[in-house]
Amino acid sequence: MGYYTSKEIIHRVYDAAVMRANTPVNKTLALAFLAGAYISLGGLLAVIISGGSPGLEASNPGLQKFLMGAAFPIGLMLCAIAGADLFTGNTAYFIPPVLSNKLKIQDMLKNWTLVYVGNFVGAIFVAYFLTYQTDLFAKGPWLDAIYHIAEKKTSAPFYKVFLKGIGANWFVALAMWMAYAGKDVFSKMIGIWFPVMAFVTIGYEHSIANMFFIPTAIFYGSPVTWYQFIVNNLIPSTLGNIVGGAVMVGFFYWYIYDRD
């Protein structure tokens, strides 16, 4: 068979979680930094392409959203294939071994915390040094685009951002699940591209991506504040991402294929 079955994926996920739980703290933080940077580079590319098409936004907004979605998955491909540790994927990986008592919940929470912090630092690095300091968004239409993204993401009610967070990481965790099904690089890339393209095009909320989008706008002088970023977006999107990965993917596939 040219791919791993759903039941076989569970065992590959076990191995991934155990490996992460046993990785030294310094290496976990380094891998998490890379993941935050990779996701941010995908976001940067997506804004360059879609934000540079304001006329398309007016005439065909669905196509413009698709262009953003089509470019963004490169970040997750880099995480999965080159190697990096992404919080949103880990919300799904750790659930099966924890529920089967092969890892302790403390192992999961330690990893989630370290990786979340490392992802944040990596995202801020790309936002400040590789985007703000290089003047990539210093003028329109990209400046207007990043302002619009930040304002839209911080103006929605808590429950809407939370629900969009569930949708985003349901897709992202499934993308990583499908990457584990692939036995070659091309298969992994295809498995990642479709779900990630879908969540970005739809407009769901990915906490790690937002660590790039909103701080970048703030660095460029957006009226959005750090408080608004954290309270209005980062907290509800993170909680939604946890539900999307841990429940909708990790729990359900453990229950279906490994509970017995």
- Label residues 109-128 b or e (16+ Cβ within 10 Å = b): eebbebbbbbbbebbbbbbe
Is 260 part of any domain?
no
Is 14 part of any domain?
yes
pLDDT given for residue 56 in this prediction: 86
**Chain-centre distance for alpha carbon 176:** 11
Is 248 part of any domain?
yes
User: DSSP characters for 171-221?
Assistant: HHHHHHHHHHHBSSHHHHHHHHHHHHHHHHHHT---HHHHHHHHHHHHHTT
pLDDT given for residue 130 in this prediction: 98
Is 83 part of any domain?
yes
pTM for the predicted model, two decimal places: 0.97
pLDDT given for residue 33 in this prediction: 98
Is 29 part of any domain?
yes
Tell me, what amino acid is at 223? Answer: P
Provide the 3-class DSSP secondary structure of residue 12. helix
Is 259 part of any domain?
no
Helix (H) or strand (E) run with residue 94 in it: none
For residue 195, give its domain range: 6-254
Is 166 part of any domain?
yes
Return d(Cα 68, Cα 41) in angstroms, integer: 13
Tell me, what amino acid is at 68? Answer: M
- Closest C-alpha among 234, 225, 248 to residue 167: 248
* CATH code of residue 226: 1.20.1080.10
Q: What is the pLDDT along the chain (260 residues), one digit of tens a residue?
A: 689 999 999 999 999 999 999 999 999 999 999 999 999 999 999 999 999 988 887 899 999 999 999 999 999 999 999 999 999 999 999 999 999 999 999 999 999 999 999 999 999 999 999 999 999 999 989 999 999 999 999 999 999 999 999 999 999 999 999 999 999 999 999 999 999 999 999 999 999 999 999 999 999 999 999 999 999 999 999 999 999 999 999 999 999 999 87
* pLDDT tens digits, one per residue of 39-86: 999 999 999 999 998 888 789 999 999 999 999 999 999 999 999 999
Number of folded domains that form the chain: 1
Question: Is the distance from CB of 50 to CB of 65 less than 8 angstroms?
Answer: yes
Is 192 part of any domain?
yes
Mean pLDDT score of the chain = 97
Count, residues in the chain: 260
Q: Is 136 exposed, middle or buried (0-12, 13-18, 19+ CB in 10 A)?
A: middle
